[in-house]
Structure 1
Amino acid sequence: MLAKMIWMVMITLLFASHTLCRNPGLKARVTQKALDYGRQVGVQVLQQKLREIHIPDFSGSAHVSVIGNVHYKITGMRIEDFGLPQSAVGFYVGTGIKLSIDNAYIHIHGNWRVKYLFIKDSGSFDLSVSRLSISEAIGMNRDATGRPSVRSATCKANIGNLDIKFHGGGSWLYNLFSSSLENPIRSSLNREICPKVSSAINGLEQHLKTIQVSSRVDKYAEIEYSLVNPIAITNIFMDLDFKGEFYSVAQHKEPPFSPPPVSLPKQADHMMYLGLSDFFANSAGFAYYGAGALQVNITDDMIPKQYPIRLNTSSFGALVPQVRKLYPNMLMLMNLHANREPVLKAAPNNITVQALGAIDAFAILPNSSLAPLFVLDIFASVSAKMAISKMKLIGSLKLNSLHLSLGHSDVGHFKVASLQGILNLAIKIVVLPKINARLANGFPLPTVDHLSFVNPLVKVNQDILVIATDIHYGS
């Protein structure tokens, strides 16, 4: 009975582990090309760390034929050169990253003192370590905050050859007991190397902690970029699934739609690929709509002075005579607002946004109060272009079509088609420039301090925006 219960619990946990995985709004893929670039940067950091190895002083005695016991003391050892000429890095399936270093070398300088019989002597020595190899497995996962994390999984160091040359005093004699010094120095290096490698990895962990899992966009919205699934690691790439979802600052409310699966191209020509699903943008529309941000007032002073059509009852009177008759020589105000969240759809080489809303038209009375004129229901289709600038996703919109229908009128029935031209103009010269100015500010993508994109390419596929880019690390 107990065995059966344990078996059922195991099955339940296994099933839960699969059901807890969710589709991301943003998927990031790191390729072997990125690892090769990171190896160049990482080996420099590792080399600097290994130069910090401290080899403690030690003493002992050795028996030298003819002379007998020689008591020695080795002090002041310091690393003058540490070379890592051959290194390789690759993905460690299911675990993280594997790093291997071969034919490394160390040059160490130190001081010696000896005493035998009634004679004391001293001098210096040079120690050369060759055929040093280091293998390190770096485990990757997500931490409690939803950020990627790294740890040293396994580390092994193997000291190849040690060659000691003494200088000063009777160095010809002291070279005879150099083999007695090899084991203490070899042991000391073996104890120090892997902790220094782990220290370098901890430095990488500190950089990963700089990833902003929540980025404030403006007073209305923020983006959450926490990891929603364990990091997936194959032998050729590593995938990170970020939530990639906008929320209203006032209320974290989930939209009534879910992110679809995100698939990335199989090519590995770039260091990194980012896939943004429609969900990313549509969650933004849901957040901004819920925050009441998808509305704008249009007044006459927003229309460039060179345009002959003005936002007043005189101009509109030519199209809707009742307006000029009821409210002669008055300025007007139009409130354009969404009736629901806009919907973005990505198709090959094309992004369209469809929006349902209304325009409430008012006459501005002499006492500054508003007299309702009419309400127009609108359906707008716009095309979008996206690009990357300074680690942000930027965009611009262009009006494709605008369909109007009369929702309500306080000035009697009129033909809506007569207003098509002036409203097209108002949206093109007032509304879209405002939206495009906001889109030009960009939306931050998840990144690490001092990391930047190099020559990013943006391609629109079915239901997904793919960014292919190389990366650069530097201050």
Structure 2
Amino acid sequence: MVVFSIFYLFSVVFNIDEYAYADLSLVSAPKFSEQAFQSLHKGEILSRKDQQNVSVPNPEIPAHTETSRMIYLWLTEYRVASAANVYFKAGVMEYLITNDMVPSKFSLNTSKYPFNKTIPQIEKEYPNLDMVANFEVTSPPVLNMTTEGLKCSLVGLLNFYVTQENKEAAFVFSLSVSMSLSASVSVNTKKNAITGSFTLDSSSFKFAESAEKLGEISANVKKLDKVMDTLFGTIIPKVNEKAAEGLPIPIFPGIELVKPEISFGKGYILIATDINHTISLEYSNVMKMYKDIKNYNRKDEL
């Protein structure tokens, strides 16, 4: 009875931040054996506004017979994809690059290197003005879990603006951008969360559009490859700031993960860990904890 009550702790939702919450409801009855029990949970990240499901297939959990650790926790691409979908729709996947963020050998000023040399039309129309570059993700990031690790694809627009003397921003030009990233993944035992750190594997860009007064500049834009590498390098730290916050691991309050280990499979991450707990698993305490969590995470409060 106590063990069965513990599963009910997962039949709740809990808030992640102002944009998202996690649905950990059971999707099937738990399975019991003499040595272990197994439960399957939805694990989806949903928006606190529209609560729309993501149309991504949920990979099957492979058969597992290893029993040397106390808990084995599978997190699938479905969970990560649903999170990416929520934050994309929330409009938070935008990154502003300003002149003070680029190395001193480059400048976003229209009258300084490299833009005064590669696209002189910009200096002619907007002399000695600082530009900003706004990177806007145009579709949810695609994250793939493979036996080799976590890969991510980003596509978006990099829009350049000048700040005019009247403080108004004027559009200059934009580039279509794609980036391929790889990530190292770890478990933050203090946060009980999976965190990541991304590195840029490859990138590409092409001319999208420009202000009409500049005329034809698409040929000039092709000469910005080294500059773009630098600008991409300022975007990755912003991505990593979010990745460092992590996705919560569905663990009971009062339980501490001990020496967790991560391995990758096709479409999933497996966390194998031991645990310490500071709670009593007496039936009365488990039921009290269950009621407290239910009260705190009621759906009508989302």
Aligned position for 2:291 = none
Aligned partner (choices 422, 441, 464) of residue 268 of structure 2? 464
Task: Tell whether the 8 Å contact from 1:212 to 1:447 is kept in structure 2 after alignment.
Answer: no
Sort the Cα spacing of 1:386 and 1:359 in 2 relative to 1 into closer, same or farther, 3 A. same
Q: Secondary structure at the match of 2:40?
A: strand
Aligned partner (choices 175, 183, 187) of residue 384 of structure 1? 183
Aligned partner (choices 113, 119, 128) of residue 329 of structure 1? 128
Aligned position for 2:204 = 403
Deviation at 1:287, TM superposition (A): 0.6
CA distance in 1, matches of 2:12, 2:265: 26
Q: Secondary structure at the match of 1:242?
A: coil
Q: Secondary structure at the match of 2:123?
A: helix
Aligned position for 2:195 = 394
Matched, 1:240 2:99: no
Alignment-mate amino acid for residue 444 of structure 1: P
Aligned position for 1:435 = 239
Deviation at 1:141, TM superposition (A): 4.6
Q: Which moved more, 1:216-225 or 1:454-463?
A: 216-225
Aligned position for 2:230 = 425
Aligned partner (choices 108, 114, 118) of residue 311 of structure 1? 108
For the aligned residue pairs, the C-alpha RMSD in angstroms reads 2.0
Task: Tell whether the 8 Å contact from 1:264 to 1:273 is kept in structure 2 after alignment.
Answer: no
Deviation at 1:350, TM superposition (A): 2.0
Structure 1 unaligned blocks of 5 or more: 1-137, 150-207
CA distance in 2, matches of 1:350, 1:413: 40
CA distance in 1, matches of 2:56, 2:247: 21
Aligned position for 1:289 = 88
Q: Secondary structure at the match of 1:395?
A: strand
Structure 2 unaligned blocks of 5 or more: 280-302
CA distance in 1, matches of 2:231, 2:11: 38
Aligned position for 1:262 = 61
Q: Between Structure 1 and Structure 2, how many residues are aligned?
A: 271
CA distance in 2, matches of 1:308, 1:264: 54
Deviation at 1:280, TM superposition (A): 1.1
Alignment-mate amino acid for residue 243 of structure 1: K
CA distance in 2, matches of 1:372, 1:328: 14
CA distance in 2, matches of 1:420, 1:222: 40
Aligned position for 2:293 = none
Task: Tell whether the 8 Å contact from 1:376 to 1:405 is kept in structure 2 after alignment.
Answer: yes
Alignment-mate amino acid for residue 224 of structure 2: L
Aligned position for 1:104 = none
Deviation at 1:139, TM superposition (A): 7.0
Scaled by the length of structure 1, the TM-score of the pair is 0.54
Aligned position for 1:220 = 19
CA distance in 2, matches of 1:413, 1:253: 41
Deviation at 1:272, TM superposition (A): 0.8
Task: Tell whether the 8 Å contact from 1:373 to 1:409 is kept in structure 2 after alignment.
Answer: yes
Alignment-mate amino acid for residue 31 of structure 2: A
CA distance in 2, matches of 1:420, 1:343: 24
Report percent identity of matched pairs: 26
Alignment-mate amino acid for residue 332 of structure 1: M
Matched, 1:447 2:251: yes
Q: Which moved more, 1:332-341 or 1:226-235?
A: 226-235
Structure possessing the higher relative contact order (Cα contacts under 8 Å, 6 or more residues apart):
2
Alignment-mate amino acid for residue 395 of structure 1: G
Alignment-mate amino acid for residue 422 of structure 1: V
Sort the Cα spacing of 1:353 and 1:284 in 2 relative to 1 into closer, same or farther, 3 A. same
Deviation at 1:469, TM superposition (A): 0.6
Task: Tell whether the 8 Å contact from 1:263 to 1:275 is kept in structure 2 after alignment.
Answer: no
Aligned position for 1:355 = 154
Matched, 1:148 2:10: no
